[in-house]
Structure 1
Amino acid sequence: MKIQDMNWLQLEQQVKKDDRCILPIGSVEQHAYLSLATDMVLAEKVAIDAAAGLGIPVFPVLAYGLASSFEAYPGTLSLSLSTYLGVIRDLMDSLYRSGFRRILVVNGHGGNAPATTIISEWLNLHPDASVKFHDWWRAPRTWAKVMELDPAASHASWMENFPWTRTNDPAQPQSAKTQIDFAALARVGAAKKRELLGDGNFHGLYQRADDDMHAIWAVAVDETRGLLESDWH
């Protein structure tokens, strides 16, 4: 259930019965022809879909993350590392104060990986808590499904092109993009990265059939739901 549909009195009663919750985290950044909010939309939706019927509160997505690599693209908003780690720590503290002891962090953006370090430190100070950090798109079963359909899958390519991440821009390329030079990309700043990347897709097709995307989504939701239901300690 979404936190926005609950009041604090209901939440207080819920956490007495079940100390699980979900915190989705994402990013607002370039995704070629897809929504700038792709990472936050997917993280929140997979969390809500996975929790459906379980009565587990899903908090609103933390929309902003670490996206300095794409700062040369208009619309990309990035926090500094120190700010981001502080935000993650503060949110974990707040969840703990609310009574949650089993927390699933559903991540939609690879750049947010440093959050795992602060969560590890936080867990050392909260030994009665358990936190799972879930990169939903590259979890084993979900990634296997992506690779089964098309190994040329990457940032801003077809693998993120769901009906709920598309814009009204009709200029969706029909061809596949050649893989970029990842080593060259890693050693330059944001402005040069934009020159190397162009529209922002790393490589592969821009779109596949919706049947393929719904098949991936079904696996992702089921895999995320499995994390809620088992192996917390």
Structure 2
Amino acid sequence: MKIADMNWMQVETRTASDDRCILPIGSVEQHAYLSLATDMILAEKVSVDAAEPLGVPVFPALPYGLASSFASFPGTLTLSLATYISIIRDLLDSMYRSGFRRILVVNGHGGNTPAMTVISEWLNDHPDASVKFHDWWRAPKTMAKVLEIDPAASHASWMENFPWTRTGDPRQPSTQKPRIDFAALARVDTERKRALLGDGNYHGLYQRPDEDMLAIWSVAVSETRELLESDWH
């Protein structure tokens, strides 16, 4: 259930009997020919789809994250680490004040992992709460399904090309991009990163049949729902 469809009184009633909620977090950054908001779109949708039969409230996705590596690509927005840490803590504090004690943070962007440290510190100050951090796309079952279909999968490649992350751009290469030099990418600034990356795909095909994508999505939704249903304490 999207919390956008609830009022504050309904939230108060809900937390009295069920203190679970989901906070999706994403990023607005280059994804080659896919939407700049891919990470936000996927984190929010997998959260909503997973929570729907349980009635667990899903907050709107935090769209912006840590994307300094892609800062030279037009349309990419990035927060500083200090700002991001403060935002994550403030959001956790706000959810706690609202009565939520079991919080699932569904992450759609690898660069957001510093949020895990924030969560660890926050939990030390809130021992009656429980927070799970879920990288939905590389969770064990979901990643196993990706690798089963095609092990050449990466950022901005086919594995993020869902019907709901595509743009109106008709360009969609049919070739498979060679694997980039990750070591070289890690040691240079954002301008040189852009030069190394070209269109932004790290490696692999740009698109696979929707049948493959929906099979992955089914696993991702189920795996996310499992986290909501068990092992909170």
Q: Does 1:231 align with 2:231?
A: yes
* 2:211 is the alignment partner of 1:211: yes
Give ranges in structure 1 of 5+ residues lacking alignment.
none
Whether 2:135 is the aligned partner of 1:130: answer no
The residue identity in structure 2 corresponding to 1:222 is S
- In structure 1, the residue matched to 2:102 is 102
Superposition TM-score, scaled by structure 2 size: 1.00
Q: Kindly report structure 1 stretches of 4+ aligned residues shifted beyond 3 Å.
A: none
* Residue of structure 1 equivalent to 2:37: 37
Residue by residue, what CA displacement relative to the aligned partner does 1:76-129 show, whole Å, maximum 9, x if unpaired? 000000000000000000000001000000000000000000100000000000
Within 1, Cα distance between the matches of 2:4 and 2:117? Answer: 29
CA RMSD of aligned residues (A): 0.3
Give 1:55's aligned amino acid: G
State how far apart, in whole Å, the 2-side matches of 1:191 and 1:53 are: 45
What is the DSSP-based 3-state SS (H/G/I as helix, E as strand, rest coil) of the residue aligned with 1:53? helix
Aligned letter for 1:174?
S
2:155 matched to which residue of 1? Answer: 155
User: Partner residue of 1:168?
Assistant: 168
Aligned pairs for 1:1-233 (under 5 A) are: 1-233=1-233
Of all paired residues, the percent bearing the same amino acid is 77
> Given residue 143 of structure 1, which amino acid in structure 2 is its aligned partner?
M
Looking at structure 2, the residues matched to 34 and 2 of structure 1 have their Cα atoms a distance apart, in angstroms, of 25
Residues 38-61 of structure 1 deviation map (CA, whole Å, 9 limit, x = unaligned): 000000000000001211100000
**Paired residues, number:** 233
In structure 1, give the amino acid aligned to 2:183: A
Secondary structure of the 2:156 match is coil
Q: What is the CA–CA distance in structure 2 between the aligned matches of 1:141 and 1:55, rounded to whole Å?
A: 24
SS in structure 2 at match of 1:103: strand
| 5+ residue gaps, structure 2 | none
**Cα displacement (A) at 1:151:** 0.4
